């Protein structure tokens, strides 16, 4: 059974502000570690960037930050607390949908509810969960694979090719477009701002892991010349996107 049509219809409401929003998130994360000269790009970059981007797209505010920030990585990596994380994520998606049903906003979840037929409304929380996990898993995997293929490592030139979007988790066309946008923006911006970025250990020694069946490096320890940061955004990132993020909030039913 494919993804319901209302999911892609909702994603179709995203405006041109999506790309600069993702770029702002990317730049803020680079700002945090650029002065240090070293970082684990999986833990501090490939995982949090897609999660923060999707949280904003879905209309989550700061109240969701701590719980979703712990639950999503636990579910994706199959941690020892995965059952509790799954329950937390289900609760958060139910809560988000209830809030958007009562007070629609300029976000993807509100537009899902707008386009869903009467018999589909009950499935919206499940689709929100699937979209969140799917995009984050794919984007995290693609960022990790792309960086591991492009960054030089001690004594060994890059040799791993970056694969395309895989079928490990079903996503609608709009979801795949978001994966590409997030992953490409994250990779290209990072290598542009930190051009001497390189792995601290041979690529062959880096362990692999899976996010919902998608292969990616478990870590990417890197070093680079420390960069003094000049703030790259106009204002601090928040979990709620700008009012022009989608065409408009749909009307409450």
Q: How many angstroms from the chain centroid is the CA of residue 121?
A: 25
Domains of the chain, residue spans: 5-223
> Which among 145, 154, 153, 174 has a CA at the least distance from the CA of 2?
174
Tell the CATH superfamily of the 5-223 domain.
Cytochrome P450 (1.10.630.10)
Both tokens of 90, joined, read 């289900």
* Residue 14: Cβ within 10 Å count: 23
Sign of CA dihedral 157, 42, 180, 134: positive
Cα–Cα distance measured from residue 135 to residue 175, given in angstroms and rounded to the nearest whole number: 6
Coil, strand or helix at 224: coil
The pTM assigned to this predicted structure is 0.88
> Is the Cβ–Cβ distance between 236 and 162 less than 8 Å?
no
Both tokens of 216, joined, read 């990616």
In the chain (253 residues long), the average pLDDT of successive 10-residue segments reads: 87 88 93 95 95 94 92 87 94 96 92 92 95 94 92 70 53 92 96 94 85 79 89 53 59 58
pLDDT (tens digit, 9 = 90+) per residue, 139-189?
999 999 999 889 998 866 655 444 445 545 688 899 999 999 999 999 999
């Amino acid at each position: 059974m494919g993804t319901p049509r209302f999911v892609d219809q909702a994603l179709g409401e995203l405006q041109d502000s999506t790309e600069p929003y993702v770029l702002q998130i990317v730049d803020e994360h680079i700002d945090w570690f650029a002065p240090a000269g070293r970082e684990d790009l999986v833990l501090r970059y490939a995982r949090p960037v897609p999660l923060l981007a999707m949280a904003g797209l879905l209309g989550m505010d700061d109240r969701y930050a701590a719980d979703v920030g712990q639950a999503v990585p636990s579910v994706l990596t199959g941690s020892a607390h995965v059952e509790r994380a799954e329950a937390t994520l289900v609760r958060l998606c139910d809560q988000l949908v209830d809030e958007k049903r009562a007070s629609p906003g300029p976000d993807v979840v509100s537009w899902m509810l707008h386009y869903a037929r009467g018999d589909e409304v009950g499935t919206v929380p499940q689709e929100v969960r699937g979209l969140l996990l799917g995009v984050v898993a794919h984007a995290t995997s693609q960022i990790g694979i792309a960086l591991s293929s492009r960054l030089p490592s001690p004594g060994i030139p890059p040799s791993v090719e970056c694969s395309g979007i895989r079928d490990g988790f079903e996503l609608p066309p709009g979801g795949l477009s978001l994966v590409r946008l997030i992953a490409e923006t994250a990779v290209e911006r990072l290598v542009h701002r930190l051009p001497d970025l390189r792995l601290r250990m041979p690529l062959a020694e880096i362990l692999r892991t899976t996010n919902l069946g998608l292969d990616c490096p478990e870590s990417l320890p890197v070093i680079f010349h420390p960069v003094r940061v000049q703030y790259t955004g106009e204002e601090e990132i928040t979990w709620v996107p700008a009012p022009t993020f989608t065409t408009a909030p749909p009307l409450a039913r």
